[in-house]
Amino acid sequence: MLFRQLFEKESSTYTYLLADTETKEAILIDPVIETAERDAKLITELGLTLVYGVNTHLHADHITGSGKLKALLPGCKSAISAVSGATTDLALNEGDKIAFGSRSITAIATPGHTAGCMCYVLDDNSMVFTGDTLLVRGCGRTDFQGGSAEALYESVHGKLFTMPETCSVYPAHDYRGQTASTIGEEKTHNPRLNKDKDGFVSIMAKLDLSYPKKIDVALPANEKCGIFDEERDGEE
């Protein structure tokens, strides 16, 4: 399997390219609109066929690149959780699989950061793409978009922390230059999630985070697969 971790610097977002090296079918997890052309160029250079642009959740800090990729690479489809309520080609539910050649990822519902968050586990359980649900030594905020600290704690401990400790964790963001972790590392060293539930909820209630600067543009766009009203173009 071909695997690449790509980065968008303004929102510190990681986009993941996975491809079956035999069939050349590929998926992109959490593409960003600003880097869609870069990603499409790479996919073309590598002789790959992009079958899905997959989102872990309805992002508030950037516009997804899945809509633009559909225009750049005809045949590509978008995917996101059904619970997100977004317009998409493939509305995912718990346990659904997305195939690319002989490989696949499985969707796991992990509400908490948003009500519609999903993580995606590679078919051999060697990698999990955690979106904002589980970051390297952190997690996403839980104070908007149907978020819940209690739900996030249960998602991580009940689903992600039951996976093999050697499974590599690939988050949607990192703000300190770290690229990946493992389930075992996060169970031991994550300063928020190695607490009990009450301790975690208390931490999350005291974060006092600022309003995401792109949310008013990003959410309406992402509700439509990253295709936004031309009258609003430039308002970012």
Q: pLDDT tens digit string along 83-113? A: 999 999 999 999 999 999 999 999 999 999 9
Task: Read off the tokens for 146.
Answer: 């149907």
**What predicted TM-score, i.e. pTM, was given to this entire model?**
0.95
For Cα atoms 33, 88, 119, give the angle at the middle one, nearest 5 degrees: 75
| Residue 95 CB neighbours (<10 A) | 9
| Residue 102 CB neighbours (<10 A) | 12
Domain spans in the chain, listed from the N-terminal domain onward:
2-208
Side chain identity at 146, as an amino acid letter?
G
Least confident interval from 35-44, 190-199, 206-215, 220-229? 220-229
Active site residues: 57, 59, 61-62, 113, 132, 173
Q: Quick one: fold of 2-208?
A: Metallo-beta-lactamase; Chain A (3.60.15)
pLDDT of residue 227: 73
pLDDT of residue 229: 47
Task: Read off the tokens for 38.
Answer: 């870069």
Asked whether the CA dihedral 140, 141, 142, 145 is positive or negative, the reply is negative
With cut-offs at 50, 70 and 90, classify the pLDDT of residue 232. Answer: very low
Q: How far is CA 87 from the centre of its chain?
A: 17
3-state secondary structure of 155: helix
pLDDT of residue 213: 86
pLDDT of residue 235: 31
- Strand 49-54 to 77-81 pairing: parallel
d(CA 5, CA 46): 15
pLDDT of residue 231: 36
- Strand 127-131 to 168-171 pairing: parallel
